[in-house]
Structure 1
């Protein structure tokens, strides 16, 4: 086992406009617990801590990838896998020693789950209009730089509707003034009974 192995394999996920390079959605990750005495030389370390550094990295990355036809590059000592969708570039950034196939699976999961959620209309305007779905999609795939899920069907199902056990049954509840008064009287009666019984 290599000494630098870590679950924190993703440094960033970026959705950038292919036209002007503007940021649509970007999430930079770093491990929540930084190892002591390691400086910035540990697995999952985030080299882009300021907004200025992040914007410079994104600008250079877009310039480098718009003329390329492949899906993977080594840029700024980071492995970057990417896909172009309409007028949007999807990027997954990992450390130089990360597994390229694993990172590629993440970018494919992102692309395919966005296609499912946005009904095959992954473009800048649709992403901005459905920012909440795109952000939740990223959160279902990655958490603090750890890959959680790469199956686009599972990701889309988790984002598009809440789990059935978490949705309260709201049928049969009378929310009129009279119904709320009945609920209040019922609660008051039950509280009185509990107090008489000594809780």
Structure 2
């Protein structure tokens, strides 16, 4: 019998320090399974923080001994990437597509490199936790993969500051004011065309 297809591909996404401490962790369960109270495949194995910490500790110990990017741990497929003093993890069900999960972990790594413009380490991630959270929410929402293109994630998370003149300071009836308004219009139009709107 073929496995059921679902958009809910991700069970958890984590960034853990080398000593096993959490930098970022988010666990997902499909909304229709959260209400299920029967034991079996529908229950969430990461229902409480104690179970999550136990899973994370075992995962760090297991990945310390590995040198690949994928492993099967506790009946879950885990893809991971190590960066300086942290490791990023994406956890999926055992019948999930490994290539899809691998694209997600690469998107997370590449997006963070582009957004932070420096190495991905524990200190930088803690200092820029807001950017990290926004990026993760753009990539994954409730276990559903939304985006796998790092450049799109970066444009959605960070908007470059504009050097536009404040409209309140422009005298629209002077020649200079008309020129400034026309330039602002051209800039906005070119921005929209670059974004594909």
Q: How high is the TM-score relative to the length of structure 1?
A: 0.77
Query: How far, CA to CA, are the matches of 2:146 and 2:67 in structure 1?
Result: 28
Query: How far, CA to CA, are the matches of 1:129 and 1:123 in structure 2?
Result: 10
Is 1:21 matched with 2:20? yes
Partner of 1:96: 94
Quote the offset at 1:171 in angstroms.
3.5
Call closer, same or farther: CA 1:86–1:32 in 2, change over 3 Å: same
- SS at structure 1 position matched to 2:32: coil
Is 1:172 matched with 2:152? no
Q: 1:57 aligns with which of 55, 61, 84?
A: 55
Q: 1:69 aligns with which of 67, 70, 81?
A: 67
Mind listing any 5+ residue stretches in structure 1 that lack a counterpart? 174-199
Partner of 2:30: 31
Q: How high is the TM-score relative to the length of structure 2?
A: 0.78
Partner of 1:183: none
Partner of 1:144: 142
Partner of 1:6: 6
Call closer, same or farther: CA 1:3–1:80 in 2, change over 3 Å: closer
Which structure has the bigger radius of gyration?
1
**1:11/1:46 contact within 8 Å kept:** no
Mind listing any 5+ residue stretches in structure 2 that lack a counterpart? 170-197
The size of the alignment, in residue pairs, is: 166
- SS at structure 2 position matched to 1:172: helix
- SS at structure 2 position matched to 1:54: helix
Query: How far, CA to CA, are the matches of 2:121 and 2:20 in structure 1?
Result: 14
Calculate the aligned-residue CA RMSD, in Å: 2.4
